[in-house]
Each structure stands twice: as structure tokens, then as C-alpha cells.
Amino acid sequence: MRTLISTAFISLDGVVEAPGGEPGYRNSGWTFKDVEFLPEAFEIKGREQKEATAMMMGRTSYEAFSPVWPDMEDFADYKVMPKYVVSTTLTEDDLVSNWGETTILRSLDDVAALKETEGGPIIVHGSASLTRALSDAGLIDRYHLLVFPLLLGAGKRLFSATDKDTQKLRLVEHEAYANGLQKNVFDVVR
């Protein structure tokens, strides 16, 4: 069974919206505007590219990343790995041609089936709506969270407000940095 890892930049109050400067959000770009950059705090991002064997995202994140990431040196390892986009509306004609093999999955059942295949970890970037649905369905195995010392108030949240049974997490790696960022890696306890 493959491991599904959700990775996110997240504010202390749980917001994940527009960390990189995406338009339309009041606090857009909060990861680089409001917190001093320390390279060591982002070491996990490079490690994710080396350890993942596939990348998954929702339609909105695919539409934001696909015009930019294929040509960015910082994301070179992602260019060659298989990508999965979970969407009920995206078509093959919507996929970019310069970002390697991309497969559209139509449902959480498709994600569950993919997890049953052979292969290494699948990393989920961005994709707040998808992450909430995957979490609620019990499909996420691990969380990589870079927690920023910010309270953003309104905005898309990583975790849903669904009334559900407790989901226990086990902290397997953590570190705090001089700029206030915290790295928290949690395994989902089954």
C-alpha cells in the first residue's frame, strides 16, 4: 500500500490559503511577506521531492501550479514524477504537455484504489478542498506541516469542520526555528 502525505504551509489558526501570493485573498503571500526566510526551516520541502514517487493535487492547485512549476528549478524533481489530479471537471485537453505523465482521478474511490498499488509515497501539495476530503475519508497517512507564527483569520482551512470520530495523530518529527516556524510531521494512527 502506498503512503499518502499531505504537505502544507499553515498558519497557527489553520489557514492554508494563498501562501505563495495567489490573487484574491486578503493576506496573499503570507509565507514570504510576514516571516523571515530561513533556509533550514524549508529543508523538508527538498526532502519531499526526493522521497515522493508521485504527486497529487486537486484541480484548483493543478491550474495554479502547472503553468509555473514545470519550468522552476526548485521543483525539477516533480517534473519527471507521475502526477494525479483529482477532479470531476478537468479534461485531458486541460492538461499541460510539459509536466510529465498526468492522470485524472474522478473520485476518492479512485484515490483509494491508487493507494492499493505498488510504489512509494504520494505527496499532496496545496489542494485544501482535496485534503479535507481525503482526511475525512481516512485516506491520508501522514501530514508534513510547516506552521507559521501568524493568525490570518478568515481563509481556506486545511482541516474540515465535519462532525466525525477523533482521528489520532502521532508526532514523528518536529523542530522549531529562530523565525518562529515549526515543522511538525504527524503519522495518522490507525
Q: pLDDT (tens digit, 0 to 9) for every residue of the chain, 190 residues total?
A: 999 999 999 999 999 999 988 888 999 999 999 899 999 999 999 999 999 999 999 999 999 999 999 999 988 999 999 999 999 999 999 999 999 999 999 999 999 999 999 999 999 998 999 999 999 999 999 999 999 999 999 999 999 999 989 999 999 999 999 999 999 999 999 9
Per-residue pLDDT at 126? 86
| Beta pairing, strands 182-188 & 169-176 | antiparallel
Q: How far, in Å, CA of 98 to CA of 72, rounded?
A: 12
Q: Angle at which helices 108-115 and 128-136 pack, to 10 degrees?
A: 70
| pLDDT number for residue 34 | 84
pTM of the model as a whole: 0.95
pLDDT at 187: 98
Return the pLDDT at 21. 86
Judge contact between 46 and 7, C-beta under 8 A. no
Task: For the chain, list the domains and their CATH numbers.
Answer: 4-158+169-180 (3.40.430.10)
Identify the burial level of 97 via C-beta atoms within 10 angstroms of its C-beta, where 0-12 means exposed, 13-18 middle and 19 or more buried: exposed
User: For position 42, what pLDDT does the model report?
Assistant: 96
C-alpha cell at 183: 515543522
Q: Which three cell numbers stand for residue 38?
A: 530561513
Q: Angle at CA 16, nearest 5°, toward 63 and 87?
A: 35
